[in-house]
Structure 1
Amino acid sequence: MNEIQARIKTFLSKFFGNHDLQPDEDIFALGFVNSMFAMQLVLFVEQEFQISIENEDLEFENFRTINSITNLIEHKTAIIVQS
Structure 2
Amino acid sequence: MTTENARERIHTFLREHTGGQPLADTDDFFALGYVNSLFAMQLAAFVEKEFALTLGPDDMDFDNFRTVNGLVRLATSRTSAQS
Q: Does the 8 Å contact 2:18/2:35 carry over to 1? A: no
Residue 18 (structure 1) shift: 3.6
Q: Which runs of 4+ in 1 moved over 4 A?
A: none
Comparing both structures, which one devotes a greater share of its residues to helix? 1
Q: 1:19-38 residue pairs with structure 2 within 5 A?
A: 19-38=21-40
1:10 to 12, 22, 25: 12
2:21 partner letter: H
TM-score by length of 1: 0.88
TM-score by length of 2: 0.88
Residue 59 (structure 1) shift: 1.0
Distance 1:52 1:18 in 2: 28
Task: Report what 2:45 is aligned to.
Answer: 43
Residue 57 (structure 1) shift: 0.7
1:26-62 CA-partner distances (Å, limit 9, x unpaired): 1111112223211111001000000111111111111
Instruction: Count residues in correspondence.
Output: 81
Once superposed, what is the RMSD of the aligned Cα atoms? 1.4
The sequence identity of aligned pairs, in percent, is 42
